[in-house]
Chains A and B, each alone.
Chain A
Amino acid sequence: MTRERELMRVPFGPIHPALKEPVKLTLLVDGEEVVDVSIELGYVHRGIEALAETRNIVQVLHLVERVCGICSHAHPLCFIQAIESIGGIEPPERALYIRSLVAELERMQSHLMWLGVMSYQAGLLTLFMYALRVREGILDVLEEFTGNRVIKEVNTIGGVRRDLDDRIIARMRSAVKELRRALKLLIEAVHDKTLESRLEGVGVLEHGEAVELCAVGPVARASGVDFDVRRDDPYAAYSQLRGKFSVIVRRGGDALSRTEVRILEVLESTELVEAILDELPQGEVRLGKPLLRLSREIPAGEDVSRVEAPRGELLYYVRTDGREFLNRLRIRTPTLANFPALMAMLRGSELADVPIILSSIDPCIACAERVTLVDAREGARRTVRLSELRRGGG
């Protein structure tokens, strides 16, 4: 019982240099060891789901683009797939390839940015600068093609809004080639002794835990869960691209494995982008019908759609009312699905490793902010408890 007096409650956030977004972790610390942790969300709740119920489908398409700044292609892609499946709309083949292409470019820039943030957490600012410099090459071609660096806005009902021309294809090829060259140094840098010693064996998530806590994306794959929506439930052009990429799986379950999975995924993405550019079918990129007529013709119905966002499986539930509006929109972001796994990683870790573990799941707090429930009858506000989160959160 003497040990109990030594426990110290360390607040981590909502404002903390290691956090790019506000979230509050309360760590129960025994010396340098984290005994228990509780998480509190709700500082950046934006009410996007409620807002979506007051907009028409075309407007919501641009709204969900802004759920997340980094995976700003995955969200509308997931949403539009649900809408298209409700309306029985089939986009042209070329549009599907372009959707996959942008998704892969997005995955590269997201993982590179993550690697930068990770090395910043470990005090290696030079690698942060290097990763962001490499990422800039990808952002440049994205800007060239879509008209913006991050908010890409390529998706539309029944296709994509812009078509690739030869000049952009050539630029994409050279950007990808350059990235592949730069990746060599990144892979080496992660195995630099000072960085590797900070990542190896840190924040271990066993395979069983990963399955039980419903971890998704690179976090799950680093714990030996061989699952990738792109391969196991193909969307866009991924069913045609099945043989062109492999799913990276590691068994370590620690921060180093998660880093390796992400870096190798960038490498796989470079292969995929080249394959897509090689096989790009000719034809239209969107249906001939006017956009508003398409959206009017979508009947009342509901659908669930999922895509493999850079951070993991992203899930949308959409219910339309048949009059251009939505009855309900539900978003389950990968970060939300990974919070229970994060708690398991943090328990028993060292205090100095908390920022590393936290960023190793690549958290996007604002995206995950949909756990604060408001009970309309009582007007009471409560935050969903961990035990409820644990069952999928969704």
Chain B
Amino acid sequence: MELHLATAASAPIVLLVSLVYEGVDRKLRARMQGRVGPPLLQPFYDLVKLFSKDRIIPFTAAYPLFNYAPLLSASCALAGGALVFVVLVTGLQLAGDLLLVFYLLSSSSLLAMVGGASSGNPYAAISLSRGLSVLLSYKLPMLLSVLTAAIKAGGTLSLASVIALQAEAGGGIATLSLGGALALLAFMLCMPAEGEVPPFDVTTAKTEVVHGFLIEYGGPHLALVKIAKGVSRFSTALLAASLFLYTPARPPLAAMLCLLEAMCIAVLTITVPGTVLGRVKPSQVVRFCLVAPTSIAILSLAISLLEAGGLA
């Protein structure tokens, strides 16, 4: 019961930080292009505006799916992000919470795409088919690198024990062992796909598929999908920070540090590539994700298993 309350209480915090990151992202991107850029709080203004608009539901849409998918998607993302945050602050032991977080964040992406594709728009359909193959190809290496961290922590799929391990060892997994560093690398290579920025933004590419699954969403729907996207990309960065780069400190301070690290990871892996790289083709995304990050992740898994075996 307390867990539920704590998760619900941290959801607004996660949302707030995600939106701040969104603002930082837009500002940095603008400055890198020599523009003044929008104010830091622009994402908040955008949400206020979008929520005050009417809902539009195309007559070709499958109503329940189209209408409720954004809400579900945003809830999944918020729950996933809040769960990581709660564990960070309280150190609560939850068996299998790593998988739960991973599952929630993946569902969030999937729900948004399926909801958009249920609008009946051909561009959204193309976007869904692109999105599914991309989702599968980058979630696989991501999951493998999460497993690496779990193996380090003695094979339990609980975020708290991974954190406990790092607190005990006095540093993040990525800084302690080669396997951990490789796992973080694989994870970060997948981040542009998670953040839907170039070079991997094939699902929402404006010039190719006209914003893809977002095409028919507007008003509150769009606001929810934006929240889902923003929270899930930031939560993924937060997950990376707490799994691989946890800095031992007293719990509230450690959580703050993790948020800061997540912000840095997101800037490095989402803002910067999104600014300086061009978009590749869907087939190239899948090929890249299934080759580079996957092989690195498998390598890190193998190394970690050897290290664990050696210790035992």
- A–B touch (CB < 8 A): the answer is yes
Which chain A residues have a beta carbon within 8 Å of chain B's beta carbons? 8, 10, 16-18, 32, 119-127, 129-130, 133, 192, 194-195, 197-198, 350-355
Confirm or deny: B46 has a beta carbon within 8 angstroms of a beta carbon on chain A: no
In the complex, identify which listed stretch (B151-159, B169-177, B216-224, B277-285) lies at the interface while the others stay far away.
Answer: B277-285
- Which of B18-26, B203-211, B297-305 has 4 or more CB atoms under 8 Å from chain A? B203-211
Residue of A nearest to B201 (CB): A123
In the assembly, what is the distance between CA of A355 and CA of B205, in Å? 11
Closest to A123 in B: B279
Evaluate contact between A17 and B278: CB separation under 8 angstroms: no
Which residues in chain B, 245-288, are within 8 Å of chain A measured between CB atoms?
275-282, 284
> Which 10 A-B pairs give the minimum distances between C-beta atoms?
A123-B279, A124-B278, A18-B207, A194-B278, A129-B33, A122-B278, A123-B198, A195-B278, A355-B207, A17-B206
Distance A8 CA – B208 CA, assembled complex (angstroms): 16
Interface size on B, residues (CB 8 A): 25
A198 touches B33 (CB 8 A): no
B-side contacts of A18, CB under 8 Å: 206-208
In the assembled complex, the CB of A131 is this many whole angstroms from the nearest CB of chain B, namely 11
Contact check: which of B198, B199, B281 meets A350 at CB < 8 Å? B281
Q: Is the CB of A192 within 8 A of B278?
A: yes
Instruction: Give Cα A195–Cα B210 distance, bound, in whole angstroms.
Output: 20
Binding site secondary structure of chain A: helix
Q: Which residues of B contact A32 (CB under 8 A)?
A: 282
Any chain A CB within 8 A of the CB of B122? yes
Is B278 a contact of A123 with CB atoms below 8 Å? Answer: yes
How many Å lie between the Cα of A97 and that of B300 in the bound state? 67
Query: With a CB–CB cut-off of 8 A, which chain A residues contact B206?
Result: 17-18
- Residues of the B chain whose Cβ atoms lie less than 8 Å from the Cβ of A197: 280-281, 284
Given the interface pairs A194-B279, A197-B284, the reply to whether A121 lies near B33 with Cβ below 8 Å is no
Residues in chain A near residue B198, CB distance under 8 A: 123-124, 194
Query: Which residues on the B side are within 8 Å of A133 (C-beta)?
Result: 34
B208-A352 in contact (CB<8A)? yes
Q: B101 near A: Cβ within 8 Å?
A: no
CA of A125 to CA of B37, assembled, Å: 14
Q: Is the CB of A123 within 8 A of B205?
A: yes
Whether B306 sits at the interface, judged by CB under 8 Å, is no
26 sampled A-B residue pairs with Cβ under 8 A: A8-B122, A17-B206, A17-B207, A18-B206, A18-B208, A119-B278, A120-B207, A121-B207, A123-B205, A123-B277, A123-B279, A124-B277, A125-B275, A126-B32, A127-B278, A133-B34, A197-B281, A197-B284, A198-B278, A198-B279, A198-B281, A350-B281, A352-B208, A352-B282, A353-B281, A354-B208
